[in-house]
Amino acid sequence: GLSSDSLAVLIDMEGNVIHSWHSQRGIRYGHLLDNGNMLCRLRHPEYLAEHIRPMGGSGRGIIEIDPKSNVVWEYYNDYYHHDHYRLEDGTTAVLTWEEVTDEVRSKIKGGVTPDDYPDQLFGDCIEIIDKTGNVLYKWNSWEHLDFNEDVICPLETRREWTHGNAIGYGGEGKFLVSYRNISMIALLDIKTGDFVWKWGNSILSHQHSPSLLENGNILVFDNGCHRQGLPFSKIIEINPNTNEIEWEYSGDPFISFFSSNISSCERLPNGNTLITEGAPGRIFEITHEKEIVWEYINPFEVQGEAPIPKNAIFRSHRYDKNHPAIQKILG
């Protein structure tokens, strides 16, 4: 779906709107569940404490809405941000922030602290919540990261260590996560809390939207905003068993494809790749041979959290007409 301040839409391949959802609480990102409902990250409200506002991706919480936009489930947490993942047992994994102790903060390396910033630093957590909002599981990133290796980019502020921006399925018993400020994607063992694979340092540059492919590889949108030299974005398919890049895409020329933030990519059933170049609001499909076969420019305006075009898109998804959610929505 594509989101404006209070709207998410489903479009066909010609760009026609065939269904829409709305919420006065604001929809910043939404994706469909198999039951036909949409799980949405809400717009952050004005009352959020000053120390949260400078951190992108903040949201008031999550709502699950049916095809008629009725709220059937809701979760509120001022420290929730960016992304969530509905597990098969009906619980939901969410990304949250928590202020770290002075002792932990003193060990975290990198970044800069502007004079007007509060004397605080936030770390990333993962919480699994049940349908009533009870926390069943909590994982704190600073208990598992490496203070010497997982260093904040020198061009980023020390408001938060990692800036998690994605959580999803990483295989049985694992989460796949993305940490922008340290340019790292990782597989996390849910039971032990340990990282079983970490990758990206010195290769990725402030990436978004990793996903596990059927062949076991991982696809990721490498934004490249602080890449050495000319900034440009890439799509990378990495084999986590060998750490070899098996496929990648970049623009020709390089600067023709670039989004400094947000953005996503996903492998389609036909083997093509759907790419959301988030900042300029562009979605396009390419073949394995990197030929562009479909393209769409988002006409819906959003109120961005950063100085980017108003038609920016956090993430988009394509659904087959036989997807159970589409069947329930369109009948």
Given this model, what pLDDT does residue 16 score? 97
Given this model, what pLDDT does residue 309 score? 81
DSSP symbol at 58: B
The answer to whether the beta carbons of residues 230 and 269 sit under 8 Å apart is no
Given this model, what pLDDT does residue 55 score? 81
Structural domain including 228 reads 2-330
Token pair in block for residue 232: 């440009």
Strand partners, 39: 31, 64
* Total Cβ atoms within 10 A of residue 298: 24
Report the alpha-carbon distance of residue 247 to residue 270 in Å, rounded: 16
Given this model, what pLDDT does residue 54 score? 61
Peptide bond into 253 cis (omega under 30): yes
Among 235, 223, 226, 227, which residue's Cα sits nearest to residue 280? 223
The answer to whether the beta carbons of residues 199 and 243 sit under 8 Å apart is yes
Report the alpha-carbon distance of residue 102 to residue 112 in Å, rounded: 16
DSSP per residue, 224-268: -TT-SSS---EEEEEETTTTEEEEEEE-SSGGGS--SS--EEEE-
Look up the CATH number of the domain holding residue 143. Answer: 2.120.10.30
Query: How many Å separate Cα 42 from the centre of its chain?
Result: 14
pLDDT per residue as tens, the chain (331 positions):
444 578 999 999 999 999 999 999 889 999 999 999 999 999 877 666 555 666 889 888 999 999 999 999 999 998 999 999 999 999 999 999 999 999 999 999 999 998 888 788 999 999 999 999 999 999 999 999 999 999 999 999 999 999 999 999 999 999 999 999 999 999 999 999 999 999 998 999 999 999 999 999 999 999 999 998 889 999 999 999 999 999 999 999 999 999 999 999 999 999 999 999 999 999 999 999 999 999 999 999 876 555 678 899 999 999 999 999 999 999 8
Given this model, what pLDDT does residue 47 score? 65
How many domains are contained in the chain? 1
Return the sign of the alpha-carbon dihedral for residues 292, 298, 302, 307.
Answer: positive
